[in-house]
């Protein structure tokens, strides 16, 4: 784990503008050819699962509005940052609700495993971002149901409709 003073910066060209620049020295210690996922602690709170990304000039991690608001981060402000490699399989902890369903449903689990790593990460995140266990279970059920209906091909519009349906149950 490496600790340093981070500074919130902003790109001028898109809505994903707020980020923390990461020095080349630190970023090379956190990566290898297949691995750019990191854990970030801001002001000693975290970890937050993030990805090292490369701009034209430097490496960085994106900082969303929720994190900026939580830590009162404004452009050019400095704050303590800790960074470490993220060794989790999906870039997020696998939620118990999704794991239990995959343990019980081989067909659904096989479709999940056939997704690209980025799509697997998105499905895991879709479940983990929900606080209540009941809501996580409903999202997990909708995802497995959708993967089986669509034979492993993600259709986000259809998946969102299934999530809405399961949320009403």
Per-residue pLDDT of the chain (169 residues; tens, 9 = 90+): 999 999 999 888 766 789 999 999 999 999 877 788 899 999 999 899 898 999 888 999 999 999 999 999 998 889 999 999 988 887 778 899 999 999 999 999 999 999 998 899 899 989 988 889 899 999 999 999 999 999 999 999 999 999 999 888 8
Residue with tokens 């209540």: 132
Buried b (16+ CB within 10 A) or exposed e, 112-121: beebeeeebb
Could you tell me the CA-to-CA distances from 44 to 21, 71, 87, 111 in Å, in that order? 18, 11, 20, 38
- Confidence (pTM): 0.69
Domain boundaries, the chain: 2-85, 96-167
């Amino acid at each position: 784990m490496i600790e340093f003073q981070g500074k919130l910066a902003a790109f001028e060209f898109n809505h994903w503008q707020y980020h923390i620049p990461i020095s080349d020295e630190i970023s090379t210690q956190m990566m290898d050819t297949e691995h750019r996922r990191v854990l970030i602690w801001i002001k000693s709170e975290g970890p937050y699962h993030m990805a090292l990304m490369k701009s034209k000039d430097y490496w960085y991690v994106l900082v969303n509005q929720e994190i900026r608001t939580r830590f009162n981060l404004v452009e050019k402000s400095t704050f303590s940052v800790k960074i470490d490699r993220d060794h989790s399989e999906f870039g997020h902890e696998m939620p118990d609700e999704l794991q239990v369903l995959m343990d019980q449903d081989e067909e659904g689990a096989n479709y999940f495993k056939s997704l690209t790593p980025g799509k697997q990460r998105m499905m895991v995140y879709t479940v983990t971002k929900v606080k209540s266990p009941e809501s996580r279970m409903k999202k997990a059920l909708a995802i497995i149901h959708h993967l089986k209906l669509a034979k492993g091909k993600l259709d986000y519009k259809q998946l969102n409709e299934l999530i809405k349906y399961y949320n009403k149950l």
